[in-house]
Amino acid sequence: MYESQIDLSEDVRKGVSATLQARLSDALDLAAQLKQAHWNVKGREFFQLHELFDKLHGEVDEAVDVLAERLTTLGGVADGRVHTTSRASSLSEYPLEARAGDSHLRAVAAALSRFGKAVRAGIDEATALGDADTADVFTEISRASDKQLWLVEAHLANA
C-alpha cells in the first residue's frame, strides 16, 4: 500500500482493499462471461439477447472501473490480470456448450446472482471495517446487479 493522507487507518485500507480486489476479480470474470454470451447466443431471440448481453457487459465494465479506482484510491494495487482473475474469481466457469438463448440466460442469471451475493457481503465487510464510502460503492453495484438479474430472469419467466 502506498502512503495516503486519507483518514482511514492502514489496517482498514488493507482489509477493504482485499475485499475490493476479490470483487474486482469477480466483476472482470462476469464481464467476460457476458461477452461469451453476447458472442455465442443463437436462436429465435438472438438479436434481443445479443443486445441485452452487450448492454449488461457495458454496465459491469463500469462497475469494474469503480471497484479498481476505489481500490487504488485506498492505496492498493488493482490487479486486473487475466491470470489473477481466473484464479481468484468466485464465479462458476461459464458453460462453453451454451448455445440457445435459455441456456445463456440461465448461465448469466447464475453468475449475476453469485456476484450480487458476494457484493452484498462486501457491503457488510466494508461497514464492519468502518469504511462507509466503500460500503456505498458496493451498495451502488449491488443495486445495479440486482436490476441486471431481474432483466435476465424476466426472459426466463415462461421457460
Nearest-angstrom CA–CA distance, 134 and 15: 11
**pLDDT at residue 159, rounded to an integer:** 58
The residue type found at 43 is G
Structure confidence at residue 154 as a pLDDT band (50, 70, 90): very high
**pLDDT at residue 18, rounded to an integer:** 98
Is 4 a member of any domain?
A: no
Per DSSP, 75 falls in state T
Is 151 a member of any domain?
A: yes
Q: What is the largest CA-CA distance in the chain?
A: 56
**What is the number of domains present in the chain?**
1
Domain span holding position 33: 10-155
The residue type found at 64 is V
Is 1 a member of any domain?
A: no
CATH number at residue 106: 1.20.1260.10
pTM of the model: 0.96
Q: Stretch 92-118: mean pLDDT, rounded? A: 97
Q: Taking Cα atoms as reference points, which of 80, 82, 91 lies closest to residue 115? A: 91
Neighbouring C-beta atoms of residue 7, cutoff 10 Å:
6
118 touches 130 (CB < 8 A): no
**pLDDT at residue 158, rounded to an integer:** 76
pLDDT at 101 over 80: yes
**pLDDT at residue 57, rounded to an integer:** 98
**pLDDT at residue 9, rounded to an integer:** 95
Is 3 a member of any domain?
A: no
